[in-house]
Each structure stands twice: as C-alpha cells, then as structure tokens.
Amino acid sequence: MLRVDDVTKTFEDGFRALKGVSLNAGRGDFVTLLGPSGCGKTTLLKVVAGFLTPTEGTVSIDGADVTREPPERRDTAMCFQSYALFPHMTVAQNIEFGPRQNRVAKDERLARLNALLTQVDLEAHQHKLPNALSGGQQQRVALARALAMRPGIVLFDEPLSNLDAKLRDQVRIEIRALQREHGFTAIYVTHDQAEALAMSDHVLVMREGAVEQEGAPEEIYTAPRTSFVADFIGAANLLTGTVLGEDGQGRWQVQTEMGTVKVASDEPPVAPSVHVSWRPEDAVLANGSANGSGTGENLIQAPIVARVYQGSFTEYVLDAPERPAVSLRVHATQFGAREGETLAFHVPPDRLRFLEQVAS
Amino acid sequence: MRLRRAGLILLLLLPGLGLILVLIGSVIVMAFGQSVGYFALTGESGFSWEHWREQLDGRLLWRSFQYSAYIATTSSILSVLLAYPIAMWLRRPFRGSLFAGALLKAPLLVPGLVAAFLFINVISFHGFFNELMVWLGIIDRPIRMQNDRNGYGVIFLQVWKNMPFALLLLTGSVQAISDDVLNAARDMGAGSIARFRKVILPLTVPAMQAALVIIFIGAAGDFSFQAVAGPTQVNSMAQLMVRLKGEFGGYHEAGVVAVLLMALALFGSVALAGLTRFAVRAGMKV
C-alpha cells in the first residue's frame, strides 16, 4: 500500500530533517511515527502527503511512484494538528469540500456527508461554523472531512495534542474504531508514547531524522534496542554495564551501578561495555508487597530518596547502591516506605535488557 | 440610578464620539444647508430647492458624477486586483521580501500632487517617454498622452498611489491564513485557482472590502490628480465644486455637488462592498 524507500530531506538552509528513512504499511495498518520534537516525524508525514518533495528516495502508493506528485493527486488525506478547518464554512461544507473538489455526484456526496455526520455524532452541529464547536468536535470534523475523500491512507499529524487528557482518550478510541470500520491505512504522528502504544499495529521510533527502532508496540516496549528508545517509551532505568561473563545458558554476569546483576538474554551483548535497562514496574519488592514474590536473583537494596504517589502505583526514587549519583526508579502498587528508608527489591534477569555499546 | 449610569456613559463617550459627530456632522449639515439655500455668504439665506433643480437639470453635474464614479470604481478595483498577487507573493518571507515590500509601499510616502507632476513630466509631449520612444525608433513623432480623454492617466496615478494601501491591508489578511488551512484545501484536491477562490478570497473579504471602500471614497473625491493629469473636457466632482464656487461664486451649487459627492461615496462604497461579498460567495459555489 504505502512504501517509503530511503527518503532523505535536506532543507534549503542545509538542515537534514530526514536521513534515509524507510517505511512500509499494508492496507488497513495503523503505523505510528513516534519521537520527540524535531526528530523528523512531521517532515516524513509531509513527504508522504506530498507537501514536501524528498531530496533523495521514493514514495510509492499501491505500487505507483508518487514522489513528485502533488498532494491533490495522491490517495491520501491529512488530519492536521491545528485541525485546519475552513473557518468560513459550516461543518457540512467542510466535510463536503473534498468530494466537491473531486466532482463526486451530489447524491453520493450527500450520502457520504450524512453517514459521516452520524458516525462522528455531529448531525446536530452540521450548520455551525467551526469556531462554535469544542476542540473534540473540531477534531471529529477534521476526521470526517478527511474520510469523506475515501482515501486509502489517512495521515494524522498529532491530532490529539490540543485536547485535554480525558477527551484525548475518547477521540483516540473513536479514531481507531473509524480506522477499523473504514479499513484505511493510518500513518499517525505523535510524541506521546502512551498514544503510540495504545493505537498502533506498528511503531517507528524516530530520532534526529532517522528510525531508531521499529516494531510492534509490545516489542518496542519490552525489547528496546537503545537507551533512547528505552527512555522515550515509558519509564526506564538506564545503567552502564561491564560484561563479566556468561554461564553458558544465556545468563550474563554484568557489573552495573546497582551492583553485579544477572541478565538473561538470548542475544549476546554487542560489546563488553554496554548499556542495560529495566522497567520500574519490573521490580519485585523483596518484602512481600503486592508486586508478588521475587526469585531472589538480582537483589538490590537502596535508600529511598523520594516517593511520588501516582494513584495506581507509587514511584520510589532510589540512589544506586554502587553509585549514588545514579537514580533508580521502582514502581510499587502497595508499599508504605518513606524517604530515608531502604527498599529491597529483585529485578528478574529476563527483565534486564542489553542495549547499545557505551560510548567511549 | 439608571439615568445617572446612562449619563455617565454618555459623558465618557463624549470626547471621542462628540468630536466625530461635530466634525462629520457639521460638514454634512453645512453642505446640505448650503445646497438648500442656507449659510449664504453673499445675498440672503433661505430655504430653496432651486439650486438642486438647476444642477440636476444641467449636463455638467451628471457628466462629473459619472466620471468620478467611473474613476473611483475602476481605480479601486484595479488597485485591489493588482495588490492580491503581490500580497500572495509576499505571504511567506523570503530573502529580500522585506525590501520588496517596503519598495512596493513607497508610493504611500509620495504626496499625490508630486506624483501627478512627475507623471506628466514623463508622459508629456516632449517628456521622457515620448523622447525615448522616438529615440528607439518605435514611433516617428511624439504622441499626445497627457490629459487623455478617458482618464487613463488619472486611473494610473490612482492605482500607483492606492495599490500599496490595498497591499498593506491584504498582506496582513493573507498572512493570517495558516499554511495548514491552505494545505488542507490542497490535500483535498483544490488546485491553486480553487484555493484562491474558495479559501483565500472568502477569508480576506473584510480586508478587500476595506481597501475597495477607502480607495473608492478617496478616488471619488479626487482633485489633485484630475487637475494635473485628468481630461480637460470633463470635471471630477471635486473639480466641479471648486469651479462652481471659484469661477461663478456658486456656493449653493457647490453645496449640491458636495452632497451628491458624499452620496456617491456612501452608496458607491456600500454597493462595491456588497457586490464583492456576493461575487466571492458566488465564486465559492462554482
């Protein structure tokens, strides 16, 4: 359906926003481009939409090379971060704009309009101007306007970033439901890792114009390959480790800031000196908390520096036993310890991950 | 209590509103009063429609009225038409755009009378333009271009002088349209003409109307361009006023012309603004 091959984009001022990015998305896939501001995700989206022409590389849709085609000739529709609704047109006129431009017959146009108004629950608002609608309603109009084109690919440029947290959850579910119902391919740009994990079939984590890692959300979360991905997707404890040896069964002895730990990994570390990560929620409190009982391996004892109550869990910030300048984070669902006390916990060896080599 | 409050509001509004009412109101009352025989500087004052009858029956007034309406309408429309593509060009900053914008707005700083004199120096019988054309061999002998019968010279001057003003208003308005909105239209299949017609024009209507109306009113009341570069066989309304008052001492007749000039400015600008909105709406539906 969509194929982006080795795309590079260099702007007039010499800034390279994309460095050889490739992407494949099948029909009906929900692919998310995830990364911090300035990583090139919106540039990539604009290249796919046709608003930017790549300096190198190609973009193909359904096997046809559309690299030099303008946006109006591509089977794509975009949902903008700012919604980009036409302020002088009513909700219905906004939704009808695309089909009108494409000379869709009136009956068909009205059928699409009515169906979409029902789907996005805006029938009562169809004669209103966009400025009379709430943010969530405007976002739904933008979505309906894009869908009215019956595009094969819908491009979402951080569509939920202007909505409050509760509305964001609601619209997120609506977008996914509409995507499944209409069967379009979605390319979704966000910097919100929770959004990416919740919505996507496939995630591309981008950094400085390149894809750092790609895969299914579970894979990205549970098996990050670099410190950047581990840290960007959820919370992570990042350590530097020196590999001391292997026991022959895929269990590695590694010297880290929290002591010598065992890492269970099918893949060997990429270098003798590597970064190691583990998730705060993977810690198993040693004193019988609700997190369950530990295996006894990788027992760590560290002083609590701070305690942050987060509702469904409590985050403990600890000083690493062998290097107090390094902070460790542990999430516990039930535990009453306070600052100054010592927390004892296990990290199961299969929850520790080898990452990239430590830069010299 | 309510009366005191209303009085206070009125008192607060008085410095601004009062000044406007005194300045505008006194002019209108004075002009209309003179046109119906009051405020006579010579002879007796007294109500009479005679001056209106006399002027409305004469051809001179109607020719001036038509001429001023023609100059004002043509100049305002041409100024706005010319300003739009330039405003679009200057929408996004580029290297030298600030300088280009400043250069294009430079005519705003040149007094109209100076511009008119410069212009007739260029197009006069032995002016720069004719001499150049003859020297280049394009024409055998100079052509008469000054004070042309159709007022093209005046229209040229009006557009030269007023286009920068229209540009000033339109540039701000065009720049206020976000790239996302234009990209959205493009994404949905709108080419450059459709984007202009269906998005840019409707969103810049208020600025366009303001430019049209202000240029129209200024051009309808023009005296200096007409006096220097205008046709000799017809007067503009302002020129006719001065002539009636100066040559014939006809203050009452000049008052009639003044009232009609104000009516032309009012109804002409309302009609122009209304037609613009109608045309833009019609354009959106196509």
Is residue A20 within 8 A of residue A27, CB to CB? The reply is no
Q: What's the whole-model pTM score?
A: 0.80
Q: Dump pLDDT digits (tens) for A53-83.
A: 999 999 999 999 999 999 988 999 999 999 9
Among the listed residues B181, B202, B173, the one whose alpha carbon sits nearest the alpha carbon of residue A83 = B181
Alpha-carbon gap, residue A1 to A201, rounded angstroms: 15
Asked whether residue A247 carries a pLDDT value surpassing 90, the answer given is no
Q: Which residues of B touch A86 (CB under 8 A)?
A: 181, 184-185, 199
Interface of B with A (CB under 8 A): 178, 180-181, 183-191, 194, 198-199, 202-203
Q: Dump pLDDT digits (tens) for B39-57.
A: 887 778 888 899 999 999 9
Binary contact (A80, B191; C-beta < 8 A) = no
Among the listed residues A132, A127, A184, A138, the one whose alpha carbon sits nearest the alpha carbon of residue A161 = A138
Does residue A8 sit within a domain? yes
Is A49 within 8 Å of chain B by CB?
yes
Please name the member of B187, B189, B199 whose beta carbon is closest to the beta carbon of A86. Answer: B199
Domain boundaries, chain B: 59-285
Binary contact (B187, A88; C-beta < 8 A) = no
Q: Dump pLDDT digits (tens) for A311-321.
A: 888 899 998 88
A251-256/A284-285 β-pairing: unpaired
Backbone angles phi, psi at B153, to 5 degrees: -60, -40
Alpha-carbon gap, residue A158 to A145, rounded angstroms: 16
Note the pLDDT of residue A291. Answer: 43
Amino acid at B150: N
Binary contact (B203, A87; C-beta < 8 A) = yes
Does residue A227 sit within a domain? no
Note the pLDDT of residue B266. Answer: 95
Among the listed residues A135, A138, A141, A1, the one whose alpha carbon sits nearest the alpha carbon of residue A60 = A1
Alpha-carbon gap, residue A136 to A121, rounded angstroms: 11
Q: Which of A200, A222, A244 is the last residue of a domain?
A: A222
Is residue B60 within 8 A of residue B240, CB to CB? The reply is yes
Mean pLDDT of chain A: 90
Q: Looking up tokens 């006894």, which residue turns up?
A: A296
Q: Looking up tokens 């499944």, which residue turns up?
A: A180
Is residue A98 within 8 A of residue A148, CB to CB? The reply is yes
**For a pLDDT cut of 90, what percent of chain B falls above it?**
77
Domain count, chain A: 2
Fold classification of B59-285 (topology level): MetI-like fold (1.10.3720)
Same domain, A174 and A248: no
Please name the member of A51, A82, A149 whose beta carbon is closest to the beta carbon of B188. Answer: A149
Binary contact (B183, A78; C-beta < 8 A) = yes
Binary contact (B184, A84; C-beta < 8 A) = yes
What is the domain range of residue A93? 2-222
CATH number for position A337: 2.40.50.100
Does residue A230 sit within a domain? no
CATH number for position A85: 3.40.50.300
Average pLDDT over residues B136-146: 91
Does residue A228 sit within a domain? no
Binary contact (A101, B203; C-beta < 8 A) = no
Provide the number of CB pairs (under 8 Å) joining chain A to chain B.
58
Same domain, A181 and A311: no
Helix or strand or coil: residue B233?
A: coil
Same domain, A44 and A159: yes
Q: Looking up tokens 């055998």, which residue turns up?
A: B140
Does residue A240 sit within a domain? yes
